[in-house]
Chain A
Amino acid sequence: GIQVEQSPPDLILQEGANSTLRCNFSDSVNNLQWFHQNPWGQLINLFYIPSGTKQNGRLSATTVATERYSLLYISSSQTTDSGVYFCAVATGANNLFFGTGTRLTVIP
């Protein structure tokens, strides 16, 4: 299957700081999603972004499909942003392959 690498694996931020999370993938994709898994284990859809740029409040994402990477930007981080951020990609039948995630801790 397709390989998905996320960096950094862990990130600790002071509240109010900005951050960039990266996702590299090994093949062409027709689906790329970013998720936030909160401390209760719930998976929250952030973006469906196989290409281009999207913004939603303090979060934005950019996928450069030709170079096989995606970036998730978090601005003015809040403690509620803590959790694990997953990138997942799919080819063909929309079966998602997940990276191992970036664990974000936001300190007050």
Chain B
Amino acid sequence: NAGVTQTPKFRVLKTGQSMTLLCAQDMNHEYMYWYRQDPGMGLRLIHYSVGEGTTAKGEVPDGYNVSRLKKQNFLLGLESAAPSQTSVYFCASSYSIGTQYFGPGTRLLVL
């Protein structure tokens, strides 16, 4: 039981490049989330999903897209990366209302 895993662990992009971050969970959770953490701050919600095929905007959605084609996976896409998107990205999952379990994070540097 791996819990929540994230791929990649670290990535460097140039401004304007695109990439996709993958989150996978093996706990059969319905809800999945993407957060970002900037230096010295708490996490902020980007997008979330309450089930396969559904997505919704969180607190800071601009510049990101998501997809939930399979229950166990939640993808976060950056179509045209900007330096302001340099951050640590965390994925989380939960059954519904209740404890969220977090992945180890992905460090993204946009030059």
Q: Which residues of A contact B (CB under 8 A)?
A: 1, 4, 30-31, 33, 35, 41-43, 45, 48, 86, 88, 90, 93-101
Contact = CB atoms under 8 A, between A and B. Distances in A.
Interface residues of B, number: 27
Contact of B105 (A31, A41, A45): A41
B26 to A, nearest CB: 17
Contacts of A86: 42-43
Contacts, number: 58
5 contacts: A33-B100, A45-B102, A90-B97, A94-B98, A95-B59
A4 B43 CA distance: 12
Given A33-B100, A93-B50, A41 B88 contact: yes
Given A1-B59, A33-B99, A48-B99, A96 B43 contact: yes
Contacts of B40: 100
